């Protein structure tokens, strides 16, 4: 199922047994943002400025130009980091230059 067109809350709840209730605090400020693209984090690195999230298996691009990753840390569990427009734009430009996306 593609996440494109849905919200961050829809995307997370489609993978969670109990919806988003356990993650509401983490996603409350961007849960209603629309998703414009979804990426496999094993092929397209999650946009970030400090390489703090090493277990992002997939991530989405949001309508406002930011991105949200699904970080599956073996030590701390799931988290949903959000990257700024500037950082996301830099990564998207690099992906385009390399011909990985159009």
Which tens digit of pLDDT belongs to each residue from 46-100? 898 887 888 999 999 999 999 999 998 888 888 889 999 999 999 999 999 999 8
Number of folded domains that form the chain: 1
How far apart (Å, rounded) are the C-alpha atoms in residues 74 and 67? 22
Whether 27 is in a domain gets the answer yes
Quote the longest CA-to-CA distance of the chain.
40
Is 19 inside any structural domain?
Answer: yes
- What pLDDT score does 40 carry? 92
Copy the structure tokens of residue 23: 């993650």
pLDDT at 49: 82
Q: What is the pLDDT of residue 1?
A: 55
**Residue 49: closest CA among 7, 20, 91, 78:** 91
Distance between CA atoms of 99 and 79, rounded to whole angstroms? 30
- Which range of residues forms the domain containing residue 26? 8-97
User: Looking at the domain assignment, is residue 52 inside a domain?
Assistant: yes
Residue showing tokens 């390489």: 51
Burial class (CB in 10 A: 0-12, 13-18, 19+), 79: middle
Asked if pLDDT for residue 21 goes beyond 80, the answer is: no
> Which pLDDT belongs to residue 89?
95
pLDDT at residue 63, rounded to an integer: 96
Is residue 56 a part of any domain in this protein?
A: yes
């Amino acid at each position: 199922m593609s996440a494109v067109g849905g919200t961050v809350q829809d995307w997370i709840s489609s993978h969670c047994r109990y919806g988003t209730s356990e993650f509401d605090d983490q996603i409350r400020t961007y849960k209603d943002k629309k998703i414009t693209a979804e990426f496999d984090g094993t092929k397209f690195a999650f946009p970030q400025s400090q390489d703090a999230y090493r277990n992002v298996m997939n991530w989405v691009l949001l309508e406002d130009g930011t991105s949200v990753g699904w970080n599956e840390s073996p030590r701390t569990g799931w988290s949903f980091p959000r990257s700024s427009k500037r950082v996301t734009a830099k990564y998207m430009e690099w992906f385009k230059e390399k011909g990985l996306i159009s």
